[in-house]
Structure 1
Amino acid sequence: MIKIRIKEAAIILNAQCAGNFSGEDFIEGVSIDSRKVSQNNLFVPIKGMTVNGHKFINDVIEKGACATLWNKDEPNPPENVAVLLVEDTLKALQDLALWYRNTLKAKIVGVTGSNGKTSTKDITAGVLSQKFKTQKTMGNFNTEIGVPYTLLSLDEDCEAAVIEMGMERKGEIDFLTRLVQPDIGIITSVGLVHIDNFPSIEEIAKAKLEITEGIKENGLFIYFGDDELIERTVNSTKIKESIRKQTFGLEEKNTLFLTDFSESMEGINFKVNDHSLGELHVEMLGKHQALNSMAAILAARELGMNDEEIRLGLLRIEKTGLRNEVIKINDCTILNDCYKSNPVSISAALDIFELIDAKNKITVLGDMLGYREMSHDMHYNVGKNLASHKINELVTIGQEAKFMAKGARENTNIKSIVEFDTKEEATDYLKKYMSEDCAILIKGSRFLKLEYIVNTLKNTEGKNE
Structure 2
Amino acid sequence: MTAPQPLWTSAEMMAATGGRIGADVTVTGVSIDTRTLAPGDLFVALEGENRDGHTFVADALARGAAAAIVVRVPDGVAPDAPLLIVEDTLEGLRALGRAARARIDGTVIGVTGSVGKTSTKEALAAAFGAQGATHAAQASYNNHWGVPLTLARMPRETRFAVIEMGMNHAGEIAPLSRLARPHVAIITTVAPVHLENFADVSGIADAKAEIIDGLEPGGTLLLNADNAWTPRIRDRAQAAGVRHVLTFGEAADADIRAERIALKPETSCIAATVCGTPVTYKLGAPGRHLALNSLAVLGAVHAAGGDLARAALALAGVRPASGRGERIEIGLPGGAALLIDESYNANPTSVGAALDLLAQAPVGDRGRRIAILGDMLELGPEAEALHAGLAEAVARAGIDRVHCAGPLMRALHDALPARVRGVWAQSSADLADRAAADLRPGDAVMVKGSLGSRMARVVEALRARDVRGRRAG
Give the TM-score normalised by the residue count of structure 2. 0.91
Percent of aligned positions that are identical: 27
Which one-letter code corresponds to 1:172 in the other structure? E
Q: Displacement, 1:326?
A: 1.8
| CA shift in 2, pair 1:237/1:315, >3 Å | closer
1:306 has 2:307 as partner: yes
| CA shift in 2, pair 1:242/1:419, >3 Å | closer
Q: Separation in 1 of the partners of 2:226 and 2:393?
A: 22
Matched residue, 2:87: 87
**8 Å CA contact retained: 1:2, 1:100:** no
Q: Displacement, 1:210?
A: 0.9
Between stretches 300-309 and 372-381, larger displacement belongs to 300-309
Q: Separation in 1 of the partners of 2:6 and 2:247?
A: 35
| CA shift in 2, pair 1:12/1:416, >3 Å | closer
SS state of the match for residue 364, structure 1? strand
Deviations 1:387-443 (CA, angstroms, capped at 9, x unpaired): 2232222110011111111221xxx35343311112222221123244433221111
1:253 has 2:258 as partner: no
**8 Å CA contact retained: 1:2, 1:156:** no
- Which residue of 11, 14, 18 corresponds with 1:14? 18
Deviations 1:140-169 (CA, angstroms, capped at 9, x unpaired): 111111111111112211111111001111
Matched residue, 1:355: 360
Matched residue, 1:382: 390
Which one-letter code corresponds to 2:462 in the other structure? L
Which one-letter code corresponds to 1:347 in the other structure? G
Matched residue, 1:283: 284
1:5 has 2:9 as partner: yes
| CA shift in 2, pair 1:355/1:361, >3 Å | same
SS state of the match for residue 279, structure 1? strand
Between stretches 219-228 and 7-16, larger displacement belongs to 7-16
Q: Separation in 2 of the partners of 1:440 and 1:287?
A: 19
Which one-letter code corresponds to 1:281 in the other structure? K
**8 Å CA contact retained: 1:127, 1:316:** no
| CA shift in 2, pair 1:2/1:118, >3 Å | farther
Matched residue, 2:180: 180
**Gaps (5+ residues) in structure 2?**
469-473
**8 Å CA contact retained: 1:394, 1:418:** yes
SS state of the match for residue 411, structure 2? helix
Q: Separation in 2 of the partners of 1:302 and 1:128?
A: 12
| CA shift in 2, pair 1:91/1:451, >3 Å | same
Which one-letter code corresponds to 1:378 in the other structure? L
Matched residue, 1:405: 413
Which one-letter code corresponds to 2:391 in the other structure? G
Matched residue, 2:143: 143
SS state of the match for residue 141, structure 2? coil
**8 Å CA contact retained: 1:267, 1:285:** yes
Matched residue, 1:324: 325
**Gaps (5+ residues) in structure 1?**
none
1:166 has 2:174 as partner: no
**8 Å CA contact retained: 1:195, 1:201:** yes
Which one-letter code corresponds to 1:5 in the other structure? T
SS state of the match for residue 317, structure 2? coil
Q: Displacement, 1:299?
A: 0.9
Q: Displacement, 1:363?
A: 1.2
Deviations 1:246-270 (CA, angstroms, capped at 9, x unpaired): 0101111111111111111131011
Matched residue, 2:445: 440
SS state of the match for residue 426, structure 1? helix
**8 Å CA contact retained: 2:298, 2:308:** no
SS state of the match for residue 229, structure 2? helix
SS state of the match for residue 205, structure 1? helix
Matched residue, 2:59: 59
Q: Separation in 2 of the partners of 1:98 and 1:35?
A: 26
**8 Å CA contact retained: 1:113, 1:190:** yes
Deviations 1:10-59 (CA, angstroms, capped at 9, x unpaired): 23322244xxx43x322332111122222232211111222211111111
**8 Å CA contact retained: 1:365, 1:401:** yes
Matched residue, 1:296: 297
1:424 has 2:429 as partner: yes
Q: Separation in 1 of the partners of 2:6 and 2:412?
A: 48
Q: Separation in 1 of the partners of 2:395 and 2:217?
A: 49
1:42 has 2:42 as partner: yes
**8 Å CA contact retained: 1:105, 1:159:** yes
Matched residue, 1:208: 208
Q: Displacement, 1:228?
A: 2.3
Q: Displacement, 1:242?
A: 5.1
Q: Separation in 2 of the partners of 1:384 and 1:414?
A: 15
**8 Å CA contact retained: 1:34, 1:53:** no
Q: Separation in 2 of the partners of 1:150 and 1:285?
A: 28
**8 Å CA contact retained: 1:57, 1:78:** no
**8 Å CA contact retained: 2:209, 2:236:** no
| CA shift in 2, pair 1:415/1:160, >3 Å | closer
SS state of the match for residue 108, structure 2? strand
Deviations 1:306-342 (CA, angstroms, capped at 9, x unpaired): 3421321212325432111221112211111111111
Q: Separation in 1 of the partners of 2:113 and 2:43?
A: 31
Q: Separation in 1 of the partners of 2:337 and 2:438?
A: 7
**8 Å CA contact retained: 1:263, 1:269:** yes
1:101 has 2:101 as partner: yes
| CA shift in 2, pair 1:61/1:278, >3 Å | closer
Which one-letter code corresponds to 2:340 in the other structure? L
For residues 116-135 of structure 1, the aligned pairs below 5 Å read 116-135=116-135
| CA shift in 2, pair 1:77/1:139, >3 Å | same
SS state of the match for residue 167, structure 1? coil
Q: Displacement, 1:194?
A: 1.2
| CA shift in 2, pair 1:222/1:278, >3 Å | closer
Matched residue, 1:234: 234
Q: Displacement, 1:222?
A: 0.7
**8 Å CA contact retained: 2:368, 2:443:** yes
SS state of the match for residue 314, structure 1? helix
